[in-house]
Amino acid sequence: MAASVLRSWGTPLVLSLIVLQAFCIRIFSVVKYESVIHEFDPYFNYRTTERLVEEGLDSFWNWFDDRTWHPIGRVVGGTLYPALMLTGGGFHAAAAAAGLPLSVRNACVYLAPAFAGLTALSTFGFAKEVSHREGAALLAAAFVGVVPSYISRSCGGSYDNEGVAIFALVTVFRFYARSLNSGSVAAAVKLSLCYLYMVAAWGGCKGCILRLMLPVG
């Protein structure tokens, strides 16, 4: 009986701890210093998200920002990948609906660490789909949660495209493997939606997909 309970609860417990670890590692700078947006591009992304939340989608999309690319200025809607801002705005709206007093800035600061936890979950699903072994899937989730290159692009306050796009990239791989393994139309539809979200979030995804599809050697 005890062994059966351990098997049924062991994997969810370990996976929950991995997700928590992935999140906590990335908010170390917030705890040590304060909640701030790092670097130029993340701050621009924060400003556009603030515009989206306060003035709506139409104003955000047609906004000519004369404070960027000075003195030329920038037509925001045609020069960015909007999925990051839409996700940040949605995260802020969800927090407000849940009664959490989360400002737009704090929503942007904590978005990437939260998505890092989701990336660990998606990596678990992808690795399990490929290997059919929960142990290997847990190891994969643990590794992606602590890999330094990913931490550097998803720490608290680093509000940039990779913060959500790497989650989308792994999820695309996950549903790609599932659609091949199962032949399921539902998996193919999920793959298409995740791919759409990924290309709306990050320009670098194109190179990753091409490298995956090209033959080795």
Number of domains in the chain: 1
* pLDDT at residue 216, as a whole number: 43
Task: Check pLDDT > 50 for residue 217.
Answer: no
pLDDT at 115 (0 to 100): 95
Has residue 204 been placed in a domain?
Answer: no
Does residue 49 fall inside a structural domain? yes
Q: Over the stretch 10-27, which tens digit does the pLDDT of each residue have?
A: 788 999 999 999 999 999
Q: Mean pLDDT of all residues in the chain?
A: 86
* 110-166 confidence digits (pLDDT tens): 999 999 999 999 999 999 999 989 889 999 999 999 999 899 889 988 899 888 999
**What pLDDT is stored for residue 70 in this prediction?**
78
Whether residue 7 is predicted with pLDDT greater than 70 in this model: the reply is no
Q: Residue 195 in contact with residue 207, Cβ under 8 Å? A: no
For the cut 70, the answer to whether the pLDDT of residue 8 exceeds it is no
Please check whether residue 52 is in contact with residue 84, taking contact to mean a CB–CB distance below 8 angstroms: no
Task: Tell me, yes or no, whether 84 lies in a domain.
Answer: yes
What residues pair up with 65 in beta bridges, in sequence order? 74
pLDDT tier for residue 35 given thresholds of 50, 70 and 90: confident
Q: Got the DSSP string for 158-212? A: --STHHHHHHHHHHHHHHHHHHHHH--HHHHHHHHHHHHHHHTT-TTHHHHHHHH
Domain membership of residue 24 (yes or no) is yes
Has residue 40 been placed in a domain?
Answer: yes
Distances (CA, A) of 23 to 29, 78, 119, 145, 154: 12, 32, 10, 8, 10
Q: What are the pLDDT digits (tens) for 41-79?
A: 889 999 999 999 999 889 889 899 888 877 888 888 888
The pLDDT of residue 209: 56
pLDDT at 207: 56
Assigned domain for 199 exists: no
| Residue 46 counted as domain residue | yes
Give per-residue pLDDT as tens, 76-98.
Answer: 888 888 999 999 999 999 998 98
Domain assignment of residue 80, given as a range: 12-160
Q: In the chain, what percentage of residues exceed pLDDT 90?
A: 48
User: What global pTM score does this model have?
Assistant: 0.86
Q: Classify residue 2: in a domain, yes or no.
A: no
